[in-house]
Amino acid sequence: MEKKSLWPIFWASITSFVSIATFCTWGIYAELHRPFKSYEKERYILIPYGQSSAKIAYGLERNGAVSSAILLRWYLRWRGPEFSLKAGEYRLDRPLSLIEVAKKIHQGDIHLYRATLPEGLTFRQVTARLESDGFGPSTDFNEICLTPDLIIDLDREAPNLEGYLFPETYYFAKNTSTHLIISRFVEEFRLIWTKSRQQQADDLGMTLREIVTLASLIEKETSMPSERPLVSAVLHNRLKRDMKLECDPTVIYAVQTIKKYDGTIHRSDLALDSPYNTYRYPGLPPGPIASPGLTSIDAALRPAEVDYLYFVSRNNGSHIFSNNYRDHHKAVLEYQR
């Protein structure tokens, strides 16, 4: 009796095994690269510090970020121990594949929240804004701002951080500490206060504190960048002549230290006994009344070469400048009746 060859069976088995392996490999490959459409618009995933890769994987599956925790764990093992997942909050704004999610978290591409500080805010207005934007209680921010620790090496007379929270747009991760946020604002001020600007202040015979204080007055007096060197010139000229600055924003700041400002400067406010009241006391106030922007700081350092001593609002955002009281009085009658 003739023996049947086993080779056909062997090759059939090999072919089946290869086919099954190829099918499984292709299936895994497709699953790794297929966008997982478990959410329509966007989703936020928070990965706490200290979690193991297994907990992260099952958490991502539970929150609908990936299709399979087991497949993610396999992918992480294949990539090796150096391919770690970083803690933080992540925004998934479109369907992503498992590999794309893993790479996003490995790279630490965390979602950042925007904090915009406009020019001319007091530190209390800044902290109130931070609270409303969800960065933390204003009381916690105020506690940091009420101490000069972050700026004392530059301004030894500073009782707090008023004037040094530099106006800019910032981005912070979720749960960034209040101290780190305020430190970032002050650090930005340090970056713009270059040796060149310090030299310009020295040339004017003014300290950093005096420049920032003057810049804060300029910031509050006009919103027009083109006018800031002119306002600066008026303030510089009055200081040289020992004239009172008679700056309305300083009166408002003085009022706000004792009560809520109602939007109108009253005659009694002009007589308020406060070192910030430049209608009553000559010279600069004791410190900044707000955080000035860069254009106001540069205007304080480089006033226009004019002999103006007065200015009055046209009530449209611009001002009329005069070098004598007669012309100024005429402008006041025309625009401030």
State whether 204 and 187 are in the same domain: no
Please state, in angstroms and rounded to a whole number, the distance separating the CA atoms of residues 68 and 232.
Answer: 64
Q: Which residues of the chain have pLDDT under 70?
A: 1-33, 38-40, 337
Task: Confirm whether 123 is domain-assigned.
Answer: yes
Which residues 6+ apart lie within 8 Å of 53 measured at CB?
A: 73, 76, 84, 85
State whether 219 and 130 are in the same domain: no
pTM for the full model?
Answer: 0.82
What element of type H or E holds 321? strand 319-322
Q: Which of 62, 87, 106 is the last residue of a domain?
A: 106
Structure-derived torsion over alpha carbons of residues 207, 212, 215, 219, reported in degrees to the nearest 10: -170
**Confidence at residue 281, expressed as pLDDT on a 0 to 100 scale:** 94
Please state, in angstroms and rounded to a whole number, the distance separating the CA atoms of residues 94 and 89.
Answer: 16
Please state, in angstroms and rounded to a whole number, the distance separating the CA atoms of residues 228 and 321.
Answer: 12
| Antiparallel, parallel or unpaired: β 88-92 and 112-116 | unpaired
Please state, in angstroms and rounded to a whole number, the distance separating the CA atoms of residues 100 and 66.
Answer: 10
**Confidence at residue 203, expressed as pLDDT on a 0 to 100 scale:** 97
**Confidence at residue 7, expressed as pLDDT on a 0 to 100 scale:** 54
**Confidence at residue 8, expressed as pLDDT on a 0 to 100 scale:** 60
State whether 253 and 213 are in the same domain: yes
Closest CA to 181 of 122, 138, 135, 125: 135
Please state, in angstroms and rounded to a whole number, the distance separating the CA atoms of residues 216 and 225.
Answer: 13
**Confidence at residue 37, expressed as pLDDT on a 0 to 100 scale:** 73
Range of the domain at 181: 113-192
Residue 47 · residue 105 · CB < 8 Å: yes
State whether 204 and 298 are in the same domain: yes
Q: How many CB atoms lie within 10 A of CB 246?
A: 15
State whether 228 and 188 are in the same domain: no
Residue 178 · residue 144 · CB < 8 Å: yes
Task: Confirm whether 315 is domain-assigned.
Answer: no
Residue 245 · residue 311 · CB < 8 Å: no
Please state, in angstroms and rounded to a whole number, the distance separating the CA atoms of residues 212 and 294.
Answer: 10
Which residues 6+ apart lie within 8 Å of 39 measured at CB?
A: 64, 92, 95
Structure-derived torsion over alpha carbons of residues 320, 326, 331, 334, reported in degrees to the nearest 10: -170
**Confidence at residue 21, expressed as pLDDT on a 0 to 100 scale:** 46
State pLDDT tens for residues 26-84.
445 556 667 877 666 788 889 888 888 889 999 999 888 888 888 989 898 888 888 88
**Sign of the C-alpha dihedral, residues 180, 118, 245, 254?**
negative
Task: Confirm whether 253 is domain-assigned.
Answer: yes
**Confidence at residue 175, expressed as pLDDT on a 0 to 100 scale:** 86
Both tokens of 34, joined, read 């297929």
CATH number of 79's domain: 3.30.1490.480
Task: Confirm whether 23 is domain-assigned.
Answer: no
**Sign of the C-alpha dihedral, residues 85, 89, 93, 94?**
positive
State whether 253 and 264 are in the same domain: yes
How many domains does the chain contain in total?
3
State whether 206 and 279 are in the same domain: yes
Task: Confirm whether 28 is domain-assigned.
Answer: no
Closest CA to 245 of 232, 257, 235, 255: 235
Residue 35 · residue 99 · CB < 8 Å: no
